Chains A and B, each alone.
Chain A
């Protein structure tokens, strides 16, 4: 065990820090769930990509930097520390990208990964359907093979970034007689294909953060099948693993929030407001929790670098980070007191930061990427080995 960074890792950190200091936009970009913000975020992704920092852990030939996972964590630390914009293509780069790397053909890797890294093509995730939420195996949308095309019918919903994205990846029933996990195929669908209609849905904050996607005899090339025919479930489980686990929510995100929370605490103390001991304790717990999540991630990364895999443990992390995030934002709102309800344009909103917006988003953490109830089932059955039913 050696928890110190090597000289090389420190040099990598310095390089990232200097680059980010020079390039990160000085002003916060508008939300990537608005048309304007989406464009601004794509523009930022191009800057990142030109600098070679878009996909740090990917191989160079696919637009990455060929860095290892420790370096990736270091980059993330610097990224959040620099206050850089959220990653508009996170469904692509963090979820689908690694899945294509594992299951894709060489042609698919060449076709999709570089444009994903540059966010020239932004991706949405199409698992959920009106009747398939937690029970993802209840997917009904169908894809029928006709020659070298799939004819796709059905409806996907809650697709994040779907309102503005170029592509959607999802699972479709390819064997009409199949049930549940069998007979599904993983297909990549261009959202501008004929027969595809996208209807934006406003989220809790009023922005079009996700979309419904209607597929009405949409035709898609069979080259867009990822992994084996009728074996899409296994491919999707790999993607879901990336989502719950390491990639989507790297620890720096929560350490950054914890640091801001400590700053807010100090400002509140300095302003002369009396702070209840329980609130002081909540800030301390937030800090400790963010540290624990970071340390746990470094353990996981060490294991992966030495040939290990992430399995059901990803469910432990999903619960931990989503509850931590929610708790941190609740604590911040309590510290803000009466000002917690103010929107950024309110005359008295000085110093309220983005806590309210962050709070609204943190409320979705226990729902997306598999609800926390489902994660608890997974932990109980696959880690603790309790009987299923």
Chain B
């Protein structure tokens, strides 16, 4: 539960009004609020003190429609199941707004992203480029409407860096074979991690921009969204669907909601098993890796049986799903799940009795509860640090209110806790799918009326395997006016600093992996020894080997 439980909707509204915010719309699960720039920080602070989590912020160019740039800060009250969307209007000529990072540390990245992509300047904070590459020309903002999706401005000339005698051979981070490269610089003192610096966004694909372009339609974005993540893509496709359908007021038939929920849980099962295998591999237990993935393979087959594809299910459409499930598919799914459960139960006993798994995971990479909350971490990372947060319970969507399941909670905050949360969740997910398939109602799978009026807004969230995935949409004509995606890893990576500082270097790979970033991305780190001043680049697996 959040820090100060006992807040009510009314109290939130009252507090917002007291601070001079204007409530523009009250929906079932979302308050749309406008605030002036000068009170933004007060409002953010008081929401945070009332127990709100920070979800993300969204920069949006609304010059064509309202004459302003806009910044949306999205807060949420888990125990009320309530989103609060604060909109600040920012004049085009002086596009500057006070930052809220002092009050809400979790806003760090998304503010920088809004600065890069939309050209909103922030005061009260240091700024630097986050998403755009260093050689991107100044003053060109890709998410402004006057920037065409297919234009390529000539790169800015950068001064050549002076070369030292000692040169690190940069083999990363642009690893051609891996999706989502990330890059960490770990500063060490002897064997201890002193600090870590993360550089990401090397493969920013401009998906949000593409989704606004003439090139795509509402219908195409399901396929685009599904390709945001190489592991849990269906989450994004569903989250986009939920946001769009909520904004447009489309009533999705119950059966479609059940099918979507089933596939989301199948995806969680395969994702957690994949991760568990990778953890075994990092800890040098490759036999465990093989067997976890052997069991996981059955989850992939189930996905193929249900959707026609192992990974990119492609079943969503505006207002429902494209094809129905029949009895044969359901029966096969249930059989496979039974086998997965048996095999995983048996194998788990073995895995957890391997000495290096327990000893290397317990007590390492600890994320204290207070840090977890300040950074608004999500998913298994939050639940392993004692924060009871699960979108499926807090903001029930699709068919999750129809099934009973437990949210595993551990308080240790270490790597072992993060392993156990996911292990427990595999079993819960199997039970969820069983209940859903048992209860699935008959009926149509696609809404009759599928009109999408322009300029409607909505926030939707889904509990992805890695935590809360948030999509924000402003509808347009034929395609979204603005579509913002905040994947869970975005929220969790900043917590790595808290987990790694002061810990032994050898634990770093496991800890980095423990937040379950799409792992192959974290392939390379730079180790900089502060004592000798020596700089070496290593593979994470080298580190794991000692």
Chains A and B bind each other: no
Q: Which residues of A contact B (CB under 8 A)?
A: none
Binding site for A on B (CB under 8 A): none
